[in-house]
Structure 1
Amino acid sequence: MKMFPLMLLLLMGLGLKANADLSGPAVIVDGDTLSISGNKVSLHGVDAPEQDQTCRINGVIWSCGYKAAEAVREWTYTKEVRCVGNQKDQYGTLVAN
């Protein structure tokens, strides 16, 4: 019976999610994913084309995936990026703001 309070606290703690707070230079994976210190991060609420994806405008094919990643590279160039999140997607990647 003396162990009950301890076990209850342990079980309650299992449901808590710890916040991940990552900061540093970012390596851009694609338009909605980056890596900070080797930790892959998916940007919450952003859905961009994959790095090798192409798109078509008025019959002209262009590298929309590359352009999306390049836009994020320009936006983060020489900046320290900070991402905070507490959920992972179906691939185990941190989803962060």
Structure 2
Amino acid sequence: MKNMLRITRDLLLTALILLFLGLVVVRLEGPQEAMSGRARVVDGDTLVLDGKRVRLVGIDAPELRQVCQREQGDWPCGIEAKLHLAALIGDAQTTCDADGSDKYGRLLAVCRVSNRDLNAAMVDGGYAIAFGDYEVEEAVARHKRLGLWAGTFDAPRTWRQTHGGMDEMPHIPEGWLGTAISRISDWVGNAVSMLWTE
């Protein structure tokens, strides 16, 4: 019986180590695609770059037809979000590091202009909300009552659901794999120590 327990323990440990190494290899591969050039702004969180649709990962901006509320009344927040992103980009070269795509075939990417993270800038200015990442930037914009936070609005995902738009889940934040590896490593360490003490 003791021999069977030792074999089971060794097999479990081997499987966990292989899983851990596989996750490390995936993490080291980095972004799937890097692209650069003149971007065309589609809306507050979508660009076309090198002929490919790019969704700014980790954020969610109001839809073009979405209207929000401010003290003065209706505010075309969807159009304003698009204009704000266009102003951030201007005529500058845009660089995007894509890491996967969403269910609509758009590349999920962090995009930059002159080393400025456009995803973070949209949330920091209050023109988009955190959607799997950028919670710190959202907290700052909310505290300063910038952009969307200066009035009331439906979260873009809620607005899409009630107006027949494309639905999507919050994006998995960059660094999720590192967090998963850390948790698995802790779990493996605990499992090994429990098996060794038996």
What TM-score bracket applies, with the shorter chain setting the length? 0.7 to 0.9
Query: CA contact under 8 A between 2:31 and 2:97: conserved in structure 1?
Result: no
Give 1 or 2 for the bigger CA radius of gyration.
2
Residue 78 (structure 2) pairs with residue 65 (structure 1) = yes
Task: Give the Cα–Cα distance (whole angstroms) in 1 for the partners of residues 103 and 52 of structure 2.
Answer: 16
> Shift in Å at residue 32 of structure 1?
0.5
How big is the shift at 1:21?
0.9
The alignment yields a C-alpha RMSD, in angstroms, of 2.0
Instruction: Name the residue aligned to 1:19.
Output: 32
Residues 18 and 46 (structure 1), Cα distance of their counterparts in 2 relative to 1, 3 Å cut: closer
What is residue 9 of structure 1 aligned with on the other side?
Answer: none
TM-score (normalised: structure 1): 0.77
CA shift digits 1:46-77 (9 cap, x unpaired): 11001121111237111000000000000001
Normalized per residue, the structure richer in helix is 2
Distance 1:25 1:51 in 2: 21
Report what 1:53 is aligned to.
Answer: 66
Aligned CA distance change for structure 1 residues 66 and 21 (closer, same or farther; 3 Å): same
Structure 1 spans left out of the alignment, 5+ residues: 1-14
Question: Structure 2: which 5+ runs fail to align?
Answer: 1-25, 111-198
Structure 1: distance between partners of 2:80 and 2:72: 18
One-letter code of the match for 2:98? G
Q: Which runs of 4+ in 1 moved over 6 A?
A: 15-18
Q: Which structure's relative contact order is higher, taking Cα pairs within 8 Å and 6+ residues apart?
A: 1
Identify the match of residue 44 of structure 1 among 57, 61, 65: 57
**Mapped pair 1:84 → 2:92:** no
Higher strand share: 1
SS at match of 1:86: strand
Paired residues in the alignment total 83
Identical residues among aligned pairs (%): 35
Q: Which residue type is aligned with residue 91 of structure 1?
A: Y
